[in-house]
Amino acid sequence: MAKTKKKPSGGDYGYNRQARFRYELLDRLEVGIVLSGTEVKSLRTHGVAMGDAYVDVRRGELWLQNLRIEPYAPAAMNNHLPDRPRKLLAHRREIDRLLGQAKQEGLTLVPTRIYPKDRRIKVEIALARGKNVADKREDIKRRDQQREMQRALRESRR
């Protein structure tokens, strides 16, 4: 009997770790995304990079920019462009609400994760405010303190 290939584990296809460090995430929204077949197959093999991705608004529609989905190797000639803009699907009310909030000073829309839901691919976008250097240092200090407390608790249990 031939061995079957292991499928990647469930959960998120991609996660934007830099978004939490660079921005203060205020409001989140789940939206759909328009993808081609090879993009979906590549996502399922975890071929996505979200580092500098952001959401742009053109003619009242949401577009995901700088999201890199690696080409799907078995597709060869019928592959997709890795860095093309991708349309996000949301209700008009949601788009208008986000645009109204994003027009405030210093707010932007960033994708935080890509995940499957009921045989569809969803993108979680967040309304975010950029952090300054002091905020980032404070977050690092708080994280270090939490780590020290956890370490002390583990040592006291031994």
Residue spans of the domains in the chain: they are 14-131
pTM of this structure: 0.74
Q: What is the chain's mean pLDDT, rounded?
A: 83
Distance between alpha carbon 37 and the CA centroid of its chain, in Å? 20
Contact residues for 106 (Cβ-Cβ < 8 A; gap 6+): 129, 130
The CATH code of domain 14-131 reads: 2.40.280.10
pLDDT of 27 strictly over 90: no
Poorest-pLDDT segment among 16-25, 48-57, 70-79, 89-98: 70-79
**pLDDT attached to residue 72:** 80
